[in-house]
Structure 1
């Protein structure tokens, strides 16, 4: 097996604004694993909140490359156990785990959904993100969009904005990126009208969730608070839903474990993404048959997508049905 990797710059179609800041581009690391004329692809991106240093990832890849290239082709779960012994950052582990699933499926001539017996029809519909802006601008984007589901970013709670969004009578979720206060959360979960929002994502800073009550009217969804399977037990009294992102948890292999556990614990589940090319989005799409919500608009937000595969158009997730994750580079 051979390892190749390269840095990519993802250009945003427009400036993207969230509570943490504004950006026009994201740096990405593309990972390729190849064997016997087949190539598998994975990706991770530099996110300021997680203090991701792709240059450090490249140094680490060069360090483990001899070990990795000695690995015989085996089931992806065996490969993930090998990765788990290398003390890798979850973002980098995700890129390698996804690349290996893509390669393995291509070698076996079976798609990821076939290999894992995952439904490939009646998939959750993806939302598209409306970045932080003036409320009238956000409403204009919603009304002019051909998508049906929306995740509206906000910076702090403005009650009159909440009322305006609710009056639209559309499938809207809120994502404050941890910018709500305890008082904001109390007002939201005690307000009957708030149950009209699909979910309210990561309202407070990480580990500051004990003000939340899952019995309230708000469908609180954990994002940064839910990093891996170990997070799920402690969050039960506070969150109704969890956002599973491949880069957060370390790839498709641990994501499958998280989904199984979350279902047993009664959570609603979303498969989410960051700003990613179709390499990353293709990996997320294959799990949509197991989830209640999807937020896989990452590749729709960039202007220079360098891959094809599974994709999202106006919210509809389409699986290519091709072996592995179905990823090819343009």
Structure 2
């Protein structure tokens, strides 16, 4: 071994429009791209440093750089799991390793990982946080029949009502990104089912969600910010009906696979989610979505310009990645 080359790039991709959640807005996707080259083959992995967990482009780059010697000396994907903690740095490297292995062996990642043969999957498409009227207007022009509404404020029920009136054909996921309090959820949950809501995501701050020990209403509650890896699942199963598995948080496809499989044994529903990023970041999640109940992998739709050979989206469906893109 020892003939592997590592490249690390920080990428800023402008968005078509602002992406707004309860914690603020962004107008670009900031990602870290890892490229591993070995014996003429190249693997890529991309991740999103997430400020919610104290990550920056600089800190993620530094973490990967600190592992350069091991990576270029032939570190295995299995050993990577103990060398680097979960998070964006390990995610980019782990996904690049999967892609590189696929390129070197001529075997697609889905086969290497024991995943179902990939097919187009339905994805939720996000409606960014705004006024009720603005969100209703956005919903009218949003493709697909599974919409994810960002919430966060006193007009949340009005937002859901406005979007449902504009798109009565759509199933709705509502995502508070930790922005609700325990007094607000019962009214939203009571009305939600009649307004087309099929899932409520992370209503309360992580670590402050004991109110979910007696969950209200007929709509399932899904953990996001509370969920990272397998380590939280036993506790989450007491509070939540489902878990949102994001590769940027698990530290890549390897741990994400294990998390999904263990969550199933605990009776949890599965959402495979994403950060706002392009198709290199999204491709592994699209493959993993074959094991999920719900997929939220619309990140590239927000970019003003995606990479070459990017994922193909049509009417709320996303096709599996081509070998030219990833895996």
1:1-330 maps to which residues of 2 (within 5 A)? Answer: 1-71=4-74, 79-88=76-85, 90-121=87-118, 123-158=120-155, 159-167=157-165, 168-169=167-168, 170-191=170-191, 193=193, 196-212=196-212, 213-214=214-215, 216-320=217-321, 322=323, 325-326=326-327
Rounded Cα–Cα distance in structure 2 between residues aligned with 1:121 and 1:9? 29
Q: Cα distance, 1:163 vs. partner?
A: 3.0
On the 8 A contact 1:80/1:97 being kept in 2, the answer is yes
Rounded Cα–Cα distance in structure 2 between residues aligned with 1:140 and 1:323? 36
SS in 2 for 1:183: coil
On the 8 A contact 1:223/1:242 being kept in 2, the answer is yes
Which residue is 1:75 aligned to?
none
Rounded Cα–Cα distance in structure 2 between residues aligned with 1:292 and 1:30? 29
On the 8 A contact 1:188/1:218 being kept in 2, the answer is no
- CA RMSD after TM alignment: 2.1
Q: Cα distance, 1:160 vs. partner?
A: 2.9
Rounded Cα–Cα distance in structure 2 between residues aligned with 1:285 and 1:293? 11
Q: Cα distance, 1:144 vs. partner?
A: 2.1
SS in 2 for 1:287: helix
Q: Cα distance, 1:41 vs. partner?
A: 0.5
Q: Cα distance, 1:87 vs. partner?
A: 3.7
Bigger mean CA deviation after superposition, 10-19 or 150-159? 150-159
Q: Cα distance, 1:324 vs. partner?
A: 8.8
TM-score (norm 2): 0.91
SS in 2 for 1:204: coil
Q: Per-residue CA shift, 1:123-161, capped at 9, x if unaligned?
A: 541011111111111111112223221101111243333
Q: Per-residue CA shift, 1:277-326, capped at 9, x if unaligned?
A: 11101111111110010111111101132343544333212114538934
On the 8 A contact 1:18/1:131 being kept in 2, the answer is yes
Q: Per-residue CA shift, 1:168-215, capped at 9, x if unaligned?
A: 422111111111110112333444736831211110011111112347
Question: Taking structure 1 as reference, are residues 157 and 265 closer, same or farther at Cα in structure 2, changes over 3 Å only?
Answer: farther
Gapped regions of structure 2 (runs ≥ 5)? none
Question: Taking structure 1 as reference, are residues 192 and 138 closer, same or farther at Cα in structure 2, changes over 3 Å only?
Answer: closer
Question: Taking structure 1 as reference, are residues 323 and 21 closer, same or farther at Cα in structure 2, changes over 3 Å only?
Answer: closer
Question: Taking structure 1 as reference, are residues 144 and 26 closer, same or farther at Cα in structure 2, changes over 3 Å only?
Answer: closer
